[in-house]
């Protein structure tokens, strides 16, 4: 089973969007692709036949042209405030949990076993899995509880692309800082970087790549320009979730946007070099 993982220097760096694009690009290239995110926090959900997962993974599945199943997102957290979330396991409501209980009693026992079980199921029917991390892998206060980033990359032997949002500023420092805070064994899994949401003259940005490669010994695989996409939002942490009917009209619209996105990313990144990471 081939695999590739996308992690970010922060939340909102563009992990979900890049996974969408890569799912479509490699599906177009003839791979039987499936997306995966072990743990997602969102009130934006896809409701299937008796299950709920994050809507983001359903959109990624649309990009991959694969079946939407609970294994794409085995742990879903619906935030309820005051550090409580409704926990869904493989699409079924489990129970309401406080963050302390979730971290200390759940993630490294039942949680990680559930994630590994879903991964095992997905590997039976697909030849390429594109995994999405959560937040940043360098949250040093939470690393021992993190079953969404490097532990999963290590378990699946996945090369990791690290994406950063340059529109926020500080991307070079975020990349280097993220690597420094990772254990040496995890640093080796990071194979290179993607710069996202760039505005302006690329020639002004390029001199920074040489310095970045000199420091990290890892390449920049490309720069994705800032662009407006009409894809549904990934999560609802800042507001009330808006429903989306999963009907043919909406799915066709999403599919058109995925094609637009994948063409942009294919043009912007060295896809052949990325493909060599897992071949």
Question: According to the model, what pLDDT value does residue 88 have?
Answer: 98
Q: What is the mean pLDDT of residues 132-145?
A: 95
| Domain encompassing residue 55 | 2-278
Report the number of distinct structural domains present in the chain.
Answer: 1
In this model, does residue 128 exceed pLDDT 90?
yes
Question: According to the model, what pLDDT value does residue 233 have?
Answer: 73
Assign 230 a pLDDT band (cuts: 50, 70, 90): confident
Question: According to the model, what pLDDT value does residue 235 have?
Answer: 63
In this model, does residue 205 exceed pLDDT 60?
yes
Predicted structure pTM score: 0.95
In this model, does residue 228 exceed pLDDT 60?
yes
CATH number for position 97: 3.40.50.300
Assign 244 a pLDDT band (cuts: 50, 70, 90): confident
pLDDT in tens, 30-64: 999 999 999 999 999 999 999 999 999 999 999 99
Three-state secondary structure readout of the chain: CEEEEEEECCCCCCHHHHHHHHHHHHHHCCCCEEEECCEEECCCEEECCCCEEEHHHHHHHHHHCCCCCHHHCCEEEEEEECCEEEEEECCEEEEEEEHHHHHHHHHHHHHHHHHHHHHHHHHCCCCEEEEECCCCCCCCCCHHHCCCCHHHHHHHCCCEEEEEEHHHCCHHHHHHHHHHCCCHHHHCCEEEEEEEEECCCHHHHCHHHHHHHHHHCCCEEEEEECCCCCCCCCCCCCCCCCCCCCCHHHHHHHHHHHHHHHHHHHHHECHHHHHHHHC
pLDDT in tens, 257-275: 999 999 999 999 999 999 9
Given the structure tokens 């290590």, which residue do they identify? 154
């Amino acid at each position: 089973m081939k695999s590739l993982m996308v992690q970010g220097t922060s939340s909102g760096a563009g992990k979900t969007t890049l996974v969408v694009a890569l799912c479509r690009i490699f599906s177009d290239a003839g791979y039987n692709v499936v997306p995966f995110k072990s743990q997602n926090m969102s009130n934006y959900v896809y409701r299937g036949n008796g299950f709920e997962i994050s809507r983001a993974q359903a959109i990624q599945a649309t990009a991959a042209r694969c079946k939407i199943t609970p294994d794409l997102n085995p742990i879903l957290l619906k935030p309820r405030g005051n550090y409580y979330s409704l926990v869904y396991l493989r699409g079924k409501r489990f129970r309401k949990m406080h963050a302390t209980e979730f971290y200390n009693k759940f993630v490294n026992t039942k949680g990680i076993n559930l994630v590994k079980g879903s991964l095992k199921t997905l590997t039976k029917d697909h030849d390429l899995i594109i995994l999405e991390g959560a937040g940043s892998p360098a949250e040093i206060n939470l690393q021992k509880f993190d079953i969404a980033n490097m532990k999963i990359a290590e378990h699946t032997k996945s090369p990791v692309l690290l994406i950063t949002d340059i529109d926020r500023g500080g991307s070079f420092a975020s990349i280097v800082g993220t690597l420094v805070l990772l254990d040496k064994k995890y640093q080796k899994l990071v194979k290179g970087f993607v710069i996202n949401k760039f505005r302006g003259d690329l020639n002004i940005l390029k001199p920074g790549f040489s310095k970045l490669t000199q420091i990290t010994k890892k390449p920049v695989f490309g720069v994705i320009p800032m662009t407006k996409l009409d894809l549904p939002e990934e999560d609802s942490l800042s507001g009330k979730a808006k429903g989306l009917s999963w009907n043919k009209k909406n799915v066709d619209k999403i599919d058109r946007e995925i094609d637009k996105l994948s063409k942009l990313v294919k043009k912007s990144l060295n896809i052949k070099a990325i493909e060599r990471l897992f071949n």
